[in-house]
Copies of this chain bind each other. A is one copy, B any other.
Amino acid sequence: MPFHAPPRFPRGFRCASRNVGLKPSAPDLALFTSDVDATAAAIFTRNHFPGAPVIVGREAIKAGVLRAIVANSKCSNVATGEEGVEKARRMAAACATEVGTVAGHVLVSSTGVIGVPLPIEKIERGIVGMSADLQTDPLVGASGIMTTDTHPKAISLTVPGSDAVITWVAKGSGMIEPNMATMLCYIFTDASVPAVDLDRLLREAAHTTFNMLSVDTDTSTSDTCVLMANGHAGPVDLGAFAGALLEGCTRMTEILARDGEGAEHLLRVQVRNAHSDEDARTVAKAINNSPLIKTMVHGADPNVGRILMAIGKCFDCTIVPDRTDAWVNGYQVVAGGRRLPFDEAIVRTALATELVELEVSLGAGSASATAWGCDLTRGYVDENAAYFSS
């Protein structure tokens, strides 16, 4: 399925971003709107300390209708108590006034430092007149939600057999681990899809994509993934829509992993022949999250025995050592639980490519899973040793 280049919005969706004084000069407030009410579904972080916007968002999404999304960066409005929730409601209300809807049809996101009071007055003042800036390039909105991302992230494609478009706008790129991430992903479509179907399809797609993405095993308090459908393109075949949704979510997952904090390599881990789906997911994540695997990839160091170490630490999975095989970018390095006498130069070369794919066959069944991540670099350490201070 070809992605549109450049990405574009489905009919009726627009966005704007501006600086309202949360950051020195970069865009720090983004607005996304539909020109009519859209059916909507959303999934949020499972963290026990959800941000105030997540608390308010969970209420809003119950009705299955959204008209706009407003998101700020720099301050996540997390661990800020009742005042924080009140400020998130004020942010929704200010957005509703600006775009001409009710606060209950606005989804709010905030990302940035945890535990700092949200400067709501700056947002309330700053959003006034922002609807005049609305335009049709999704990259403008993507720029407005960036934190440590190195580039804005937006993609779009057409649902096969229709002229409906789906567009993804997202940010990464640290505090990212399964069950979402400090990941915001807003998905817009002009297909007409009931909210109940959106909810099911979004959960299914996230299960094998965003929930298999990890940059650092840390789960954000702010994760939000929203899907809005405004119906301008009419009904579509749900199977085709589901396929397009999965393809775009997969692509966006790779884009986010590739731009993980400090990342120089995209790491993709495929596990096959596992005893169960749960085993396949657990082993894929264990390899994907292992600091020793991530540094091995970073250094293109052919220390592939670490793959067995990472499989082996999945204590509760069915692991059959003498049926365990592994490959690095298609080159087999482990057979029957033993390291093969492979050509180190070939493995070094494989590990030096931008995409490093580790494949494992567990010989214990027929389940499979894929996880996405990145290497662990000095850049990650440097960025996160001074995130608050910088």
Contacts and interface: CB of A to CB of B under 8 A. Distances in A.
A249 B282 CA distance: 31
Contact of A79 (B47, B174, B339): B339
A308 interface: yes
A380 interface: yes
Is the contact region of chain A dominated by helix, strand, or loop, or is it mixed? loop
A380 B339 contact: no
Interface in A331-390: 334, 336-339, 376-378, 380-389
B47 A80 contact: no
Given A309-B47, A321-B48, A385 B295 contact: yes
A221 interface: yes
Interface in A274-315: 289-292, 295-296, 298-299, 301-306, 308-315
B79 A387 contact: no
A381 B382 CA distance: 11
Interface in A48-70: 48-50
A310 B114 CA distance: 12
A100 interface: no
A47 to B, nearest CB: 4
Given A48-B319, A113-B305, A290-B218, A299 B386 contact: yes
A384 B292 contact: yes
A263 interface: no
Interface residues of A, number: 68
Contacts of A336: 81
B292 A175 contact: yes
B305 A78 contact: yes
A151 to B, nearest CB: 22
A217 interface: yes
Nearest to A341: B117
Interface in A83-120: 113-116
Contacts of A380: 291, 295, 381
Nearest to A78: B305
A114 B337 contact: no
A114 B289 CA distance: 19
Contacts of A292: 174-175, 216, 218, 384
A113 B303 contact: yes
Given A290-B217, A313-B177, A339 B299 contact: no
Contacts of A377: 381
A179 interface: yes
Contact of A381 (B219, B309, B381, B388): B381
Nearest to A297: B385
Given A47-B313, A219-B309, A376-B381, 4 more contacts: A47-B312, A48-B321, A113-B305, A299-B386
